[in-house]
A and B are shown apart, each in its own frame.
Chain A
């Protein structure tokens, strides 16, 4: 089952070849894009295989589990891989069209490939130390991408991003050390077996809290989210789009993986805590977004708020709730990335991200406004787009679980999300530019081919939002498959420990 290594070695190989051709950025663009696209194709084939035949595992180097490192793909991992690679292809297309010469000189293409290696590696790995290494690959690539533009705002944003994320990595490492001391293994499937056989589960829950801090920091949960609004609005638009779509969602994925496989001894405490964290995250994100006028800052606070929904869905620990959380995750990756890409187009057309200095885009470009509106209303949860079904599944799960207050807060925060999206649409697209404000479009804004080609990735993602809305039952069946595999990890454990490749 060597297909499992392809999503990791294809981008890594592309990064290596990009470094070999360091002096010619034109060739780097082609190599890098073919790397992203080929890994997308291999992930599609892997997706089809895992959905039809169950979890698969490969033991790297021939060393058997639990000693060796293994890569495991079950339904959750493969869903996340598919969505993230789709988003990766679209953002890569966008970044090729918005060619940024200074960034390319600093190695934008190899760094993008190593970022994808880190993300795909985090989804595929079956070993917690390998997860740490993948996190660090992703983290270092994101630092380098964030600080490549080298302006005042970028360096300050990079410092704030780096400060908290490094602390989170150290907490993760401390947790790995303590977990190894307790269980004697770092293999996730073996840990699942050994942790259920422990005679003192209270120490396990304490270690779980260390991991919750580390992954909560990565996922921008309450109270660890302040690095996100401080840094996501600083880099160039393609980079902030890929950060918004991928990085925090890896944190949510690892919370789901750890708290369904390893730390299930004290569900009454740990998962209730995750629900409470989710509720506070939702509210904190939306309160932060109300007073902002920079488009990307509003969207960054919304990322925080939407992470809250996913954590609530996971913490409720029923099949429909976890499936709803996964559906929400998938929908959010696509819609959020699309909104950030659209914000980049607004900047290119009118020269600013601030709502007071833009306006009247609907007059100039009605089709672009419709694409933005699809993603924005999708995020806010208007039928028949994907966000509506995501929220409906979570609300139904909450009501079935007997949590009326949580459901009320979910709907309330959804209302405020809608208000923010309408605010952006009204001020940037509907109303004309304010009196006395001069628009300074970026150079190349009058070149229609550049702007039209930037619409292609935005269009693809908008179509996926609509398709997810109309095809919600099919996608929800997939999410229920992933949720059932999470609630009963025996297929996962058997794929890793029970022989195999």
Chain B
């Protein structure tokens, strides 16, 4: 597509979209958001960039094998449940660990790893669909 407006806008918005998608991912457990919504926003960012600048430029920016990303996400999601197996609890029991960081506490948890896995799966799936549709044309 040869629109200057779209090209410049996509280039400016791409980092903003990605930061917003990470924000959605990290706030997902207690507030609206989560891995699925974050993944969709992130892949919308790349899709906008791809439509504005063409698939070749998108491949330069996003050169990860998308199917590998799906596998990684699925692997992380399953792995997040197995931590509780070692403690003798049922599968997928949420394990929380509060890490003191100066005066704040960072809460690390297995649902976060699960959400990150979902995030990767969603980005991988949407980008696979996008790339295969573009290459079909």
Tell me, rounded to whole Å, the shortest Cβ–Cβ distance linking A161 to chain B: 22
CA distance A124 to B90 in the complex (A): 15
Chain A residue contacts of B75, Cβ below 8 A: 13, 16-17, 20
Tell me, rounded to whole Å, the shortest Cβ–Cβ distance linking B89 to chain A: 6
A12 contacts which of B78, B84, B85, B93 (Cβ < 8 Å)? B78
B78-A16 in contact (CB<8A): yes
Query: Which chain A residues (267-319) contact chain B, with CB distance < 8 Å?
Result: none
B71-A20 in contact (CB<8A): yes
B74 contacts chain A at the CB level, 8 A cutoff: yes
A430 contacts chain B at the CB level, 8 A cutoff: no
For B, the interface residue count at a CB cutoff of 8 angstroms equals 19
A61-B85 in contact (CB<8A): no
Q: A9-B82, A16-B78 are in contact. Are A501 and B90 (CB under 8 A)?
A: yes
B65 contacts which of A12, A13, A18, A22 (Cβ < 8 Å)? A22
CA distance A500 to B7 in the complex (A): 59
Tell me, rounded to whole Å, the shortest Cβ–Cβ distance linking B3 to chain A: 35
With both beta carbons as reference points, the residue of chain A lying nearest to B66 in the complex is identified as A22
Query: Which chain B residues (90-137) contact chain A, with CB distance < 8 Å?
Result: 90-94
Interface bin, chain A: 20 to 34
B74-A61 in contact (CB<8A): no
Chain B residue contacts of A16, Cβ below 8 A: 71-72, 74-75, 78
Chain A residue contacts of B67, Cβ below 8 A: 19, 22
CA distance A453 to B93 in the complex (A): 44
Query: Which chain A residues (8-43) contact chain B, with CB distance < 8 Å?
Result: 9, 12-13, 15-23
Chain B residue contacts of A21, Cβ below 8 A: 71
Q: A12-B78, A60-B92, A62-B90 are in contact. Are A2 and B85 (CB under 8 A)?
A: yes
Chain A residue contacts of B71, Cβ below 8 A: 16-22, 110
CA distance A285 to B13 in the complex (A): 60
A59 contacts chain B at the CB level, 8 A cutoff: yes
Beyond A9-B91, A62-B93, 6 extra complex contacts between A and B, CB < 8 Å = A9-B81, A12-B78, A19-B68, A21-B71, A22-B68, A62-B89
